[in-house]
Chains A and B, each alone.
Chain A
Amino acid sequence: MSIALLTLIILGLSALGYLLGRQRALAAVEGDARKLHSLPSYYGASVFLFTALPAFLTLLVWLIAQPLLIERSVAGMITPADIPAGTTLSLVMSDVQRIAVGTEQLVADGMSETELAALQADPAGLRSALGRLGVSVAETTTPNVLEAAKAYRASASLGHFGMIVAALALAVAGLLISAFRVTPELRARNIVESFIRVLLIGASTVAILTTLGIVFSLVFESWHFFQLYPAKDFFFSLTWNPKFGGGSSLGVWPLVWGTLYVSFVALVIAVPLGILSAIYLSEYASPTVRSVAKPLLEILAGIPSIVYGLFALVTVGPLLRDWLAMPLGLGASSSSVATAGLVMGIMLIPYVSSLSDDIINSVPQSLRDGSYAIGATPSETVRQVVLPAALPGIVGAVLLAASRAIGETMIVVMGAGAAAKLSMNPFEAMTTVTVKIVSQLTGDTEFASPETLVAFALGLTLFVFTLGLNILALFIVRKYREQYE
């Protein structure tokens, strides 16, 4: 029985539970719903929840735990002789798993168990049979591994069976017990409320745990990296020169510098333009202009960044080179910090303007009226009353744009190039942390050399940067609030 079918059955049972619970509640008071503690649908819902939730939770835990447990037990069958030179136990174990899944597929395709047993006695035959399914098995695979795969498959199908039985049993038990418990006094409404509370807590816990997991994996792999490469060189070396043969120089500063430089140029463009257009839209534009201009501006935010990258590559880059960099004698590269920064700035305008516009609009009209009534002009009102009142929100909008800029990759690859350099010249090609993370991880490499693991250390650096930015934002906003509340 597949998981999908099992899910359907449990849902069906739960729906049945809903009807039963509702019906039993109404029957207990002879159809007079006013005598019930809760609305009839709450009785139904409580039975539904008691039927569905335990079964689904068990299913979830089982699905996660079973492969881990089976792998643990099967791994004991693999001897060091089964592990070819240059690979690891975990690679062999993934072979075991693939072979097990492949044989399962053979059975599903109509092979009988006896035929399979015969095939399993003949490694070459099994190999070709699996090969036809697209599961390649290496010549070097030892009989021991095949045995392990057999054991894996056996435990997996046993586990699957156990899971179905357990889930169905729990669903039926939940249905019967909770339906039986339905009495007019049962506080079904409160039960449903607690379930909803648990659901909401669960949802936020998942979000928090995921974040923690991401941070943990970053920290873990970075720690790995620092075992292989001295942290001192990573943080204090001024050259970035990875060599895949070894002997790389992996100083982070050229990348951090590139990131900050490009982001700075982008913000210098996006922040003033964004805030000014937000002010125009919210304070000056007539409703008609606003209804046209605001969506137009927001379309900018919907353009994929790779399209901006193309724009940088074919239009802005050559333009800046021919009209600014070359005449000024500042370089002949069309990939430059200025190109990427300019295009990224354009991309960020709607982020700044759209959020700022909402924030400016939420400043109470009474403050504007107060200012106008004293004889202030619109621009005086904006500068002295509206903007100060909107400042915390605008700071938030700007910092959001800044994190976008720091994390942007595509525009930098296409606009700024891939050369890690420490230079003040905005018309020179440079690169950023994100670009290097991608380039260190592309290619057929495993995560064992400092050249690949450095990506995690870079990711962590980036994370610390944006975290710092957010803390700064909180700090500014709080300080400002203290002043005015």
Chain B
Amino acid sequence: MNLMQTPVSDTTALKPRITASGVQVYYDTNHALKDVSVNILDRTTTAFIGPSGCGKSTFLRCLNRMNDTVASARVEGKILLDGQDIYDKRVDPVQLRARIGMVFQKPNPFPKSIYDNVAYGPRIHGLARNKAELDEIVETSLRRAALWNEVKDRLSAPGTGLSGGQQQRLCIARAVATGPEVLLMDEPCSALDPIATAQVEALIDELREQYSVVIVTHSMQQAARVSQKTAFFHLGNLVEYGDTQQIFTNPQDPRTESYITGRIG
């Protein structure tokens, strides 16, 4: 692994955006996440790594309350977004999700045109006053997702007709169109070829200028390439959290070391 690629940046000056403390998640009786506490920093890419089934997706889905849609899931603990508890009764999960965007493992464009896919969020949240504004949001979102040049001539073509990599970038455009402050990405590149992966990674680096990005990944190289902070999960526990460089060069916990050197996983 070429650690020289790791973006070296000083994260000490950045404020925490999301503060999670003592988060527990149960699926019926399955205790899937055990006492996780972590700070997600502003304008930083945080990578979640760990073997399959260790609770990375579960934790990610706590951050935008997507676990509310799973009937069997029960979340305990505190998660603050800019100091406000997102599990507070007064918080509307629907509004929350507009502020915390999410991109899934498998590209899931809606069976609608490319334009309507991107315009979906702005439309339901009333973000555009007129057609011209909506057009502009769609265009900037597609540009930020590095997809504009490929689709600008066929915005009315179905989104499901794009290639896998294009579909995933369309989903990213769809997520950024609502102007979220945090972007959650659950293994966004696992269904993509290396070229599309490189495009998405470049995009993540760009998005970090404005957002906090949280990315779940199974590729240690990818974590090292795109993130500044890394959290290692194992069997529902957050084992270690720190600067990416430190995690990969000098892990404190023997489990982390075994995992990144390929001995457990």
Q: Report how far A366 CA is from B174 CA in the complex, Å.
A: 14
> Which residue of chain B lies nearest to A372 when distances are taken between CB atoms in the complex?
B69
Q: What residues on A are CB-neighbors of B175 within 8 Å?
A: 373-374
> Which residue of chain A lies nearest to B72 when distances are taken between CB atoms in the complex?
A287
Q: Any chain B CB within 8 A of the CB of A248? A: no
Min CB–CB distance A421 → chain B (angstroms): 45
Min CB–CB distance A381 → chain B (angstroms): 9
- Are A485 and B158 interface neighbours, CB within 8 A? yes
- Are A366 and B98 interface neighbours, CB within 8 A? no
Using an 8 Å CB-CB cutoff, how does the interface string of A355-396 with B read, 1 for contact, 0 for none? 000000000101111111111110010001100110000000
Q: Any chain A CB within 8 A of the CB of B106? A: yes
Given A286-B71, A287-B71, A485-B158, A376 contacting B94 (CB threshold 8 A): yes
Q: What residues on A are CB-neighbors of B96 within 8 Å?
A: 375
Q: Any chain A CB within 8 A of the CB of B218? A: no
Min CB–CB distance B224 → chain A (angstroms): 27
- Are B178 and A370 interface neighbours, CB within 8 A? no
Q: Any chain B CB within 8 A of the CB of A484? A: yes
Given A370-B104, A374-B178, A385 contacting B110 (CB threshold 8 A): yes
Given A286-B71, A385-B110, A389-B111, A371 contacting B120 (CB threshold 8 A): yes
* Set A369, A376, A485: member contacting B124, Cβ < 8 A: A376
* Set B104, B109, B124, B158: member contacting A375, Cβ < 8 A: B124
Q: Any chain A CB within 8 A of the CB of B29? A: no
> Which residue of chain B lies nearest to A376 when distances are taken between CB atoms in the complex?
B124
> Which residue of chain B lies nearest to A373 when distances are taken between CB atoms in the complex?
B102
Q: Any chain A CB within 8 A of the CB of B125? A: yes
Q: What residues on B are CB-neighbors of A364 within 8 Å?
A: 108
Q: What residues on A are CB-neighbors of B102 within 8 Å?
A: 373
> Which residue of chain B lies nearest to A388 when distances are taken between CB atoms in the complex?
B111
Q: What residues on A are CB-neighbors of B188 within 8 Å?
A: none
State which size class the interface on B falls in.
20 to 34
Given A369-B104, A370-B104, A376-B94, A484 contacting B121 (CB threshold 8 A): no
* Set A366, A369, A380, A384: member contacting B66, Cβ < 8 A: A369
Q: Report how far A485 CA is from B160 CA in the complex, Å.
A: 6
- Are B108 and A370 interface neighbours, CB within 8 A? yes
Q: Any chain B CB within 8 A of the CB of A483? A: yes
> Which residue of chain B lies nearest to A377 when distances are taken between CB atoms in the complex?
B94
- Are A484 and B124 interface neighbours, CB within 8 A? no
- Are B161 and A374 interface neighbours, CB within 8 A? no
- Are B124 and A366 interface neighbours, CB within 8 A? no
Q: What residues on A are CB-neighbors of B161 within 8 Å?
A: 485
Min CB–CB distance A337 → chain B (angstroms): 38
- Are B97 and A375 interface neighbours, CB within 8 A? yes
Q: Report how far A9 CA is from B252 CA in the complex, Å.
A: 83
Q: Report how far A373 CA is from B184 CA in the complex, Å.
A: 10
Q: Report how far A368 CA is from B70 CA in the complex, Å.
A: 12
Most buried by B among A366, A370, A385, A388: A370
Most buried by A among B101, B102, B108, B161: B108
- Are B158 and A384 interface neighbours, CB within 8 A? no
Q: What residues on A are CB-neighbors of B104 within 8 Å?
A: 366, 369-370, 373
Q: What residues on A are CB-neighbors of B94 within 8 Å?
A: 375-377
Q: Report how far A367 CA is from B104 CA in the complex, Å.
A: 10
Q: What residues on B are CB-neighbors of A388 within 8 Å?
A: 110-112
* Set A287, A370, A372, A377: member contacting B110, Cβ < 8 A: A370
Q: Any chain A CB within 8 A of the CB of B64? A: yes
* Set A286, A287, A366, A374: member contacting B121, Cβ < 8 A: A374
Q: Report how far A287 CA is from B71 CA in the complex, Å.
A: 9
Q: What residues on A are CB-neighbors of B69 within 8 Å?
A: 368-369, 372
Q: Report how far A366 CA is from B106 CA in the complex, Å.
A: 8
Q: What residues on B are CB-neighbors of A483 within 8 Å?
A: 158
Q: Report how far A370 CA is from B118 CA in the complex, Å.
A: 12
> Which residue of chain B lies nearest to A389 when distances are taken between CB atoms in the complex?
B111
- Are B97 and A372 interface neighbours, CB within 8 A? yes
Using an 8 Å CB-CB cutoff, how does the interface string of B91-128 with A read, 1 for contact, 0 for none? 00011111001101010111110000000110011000
Q: What residues on A are CB-neighbors of B160 within 8 Å?
A: 484-485
Q: Report how far A286 CA is from B71 CA in the complex, Å.
A: 8
Q: What residues on A are CB-neighbors of B158 within 8 Å?
A: 483-485
Q: Any chain A CB within 8 A of the CB of B147? A: no
Q: What residues on B are CB-neighbors of A366 within 8 Å?
A: 104, 106, 108
Min CB–CB distance A374 → chain B (angstroms): 4
Q: What residues on A are CB-neighbors of B121 within 8 Å?
A: 374-376
Q: Report how far A484 CA is from B120 CA in the complex, Å.
A: 16
Q: Any chain A CB within 8 A of the CB of B171? A: yes
Q: Report how far A364 CA is from B95 CA in the complex, Å.
A: 24
Given A366-B104, A371-B120, A373-B175, A484 contacting B64 (CB threshold 8 A): no
Q: Report how far A374 CA is from B108 CA in the complex, Å.
A: 12
Q: What residues on B are CB-neighbors of A368 within 8 Å?
A: 69
Q: What residues on A are CB-neighbors of B125 within 8 Å?
A: 375
Min CB–CB distance B92 → chain A (angstroms): 9
Q: What residues on A are CB-neighbors of B109 within 8 Å?
A: 370
Q: What residues on B are CB-neighbors of A380 within 8 Å?
A: 124
Using an 8 Å CB-CB cutoff, how does the interface string of B166-179 with A read, 1 for contact, 0 for none? 00000100110010
> Which residue of chain A lies nearest to B95 when distances are taken between CB atoms in the complex?
A375
Q: What residues on B are CB-neighbors of A384 within 8 Å?
A: 110, 112, 120, 124
> Which residue of chain A lies nearest to B177 when distances are taken between CB atoms in the complex?
A374
Q: What residues on A are CB-neighbors of B112 within 8 Å?
A: 384, 388, 484
15 contacts between A and B (CB under 8 A): A369-B108, A370-B109, A370-B110, A370-B171, A370-B174, A372-B69, A374-B174, A375-B94, A375-B98, A375-B178, A384-B112, A384-B120, A385-B110, A484-B160, A485-B160
5 further A-B contacts with Cβ under 8 Å, apart from A370-B174, A384-B110, are: A367-B110, A368-B69, A370-B108, A373-B101, A380-B124
Give residues in A with beta carbon < 8 Å to B. Answer: 286-287, 364, 366-377, 380, 384-385, 388-389, 483-485
Return the 4 tightest CB-CB contacts between A and B, nearest first.
A375-B98, A373-B102, A375-B97, A366-B108
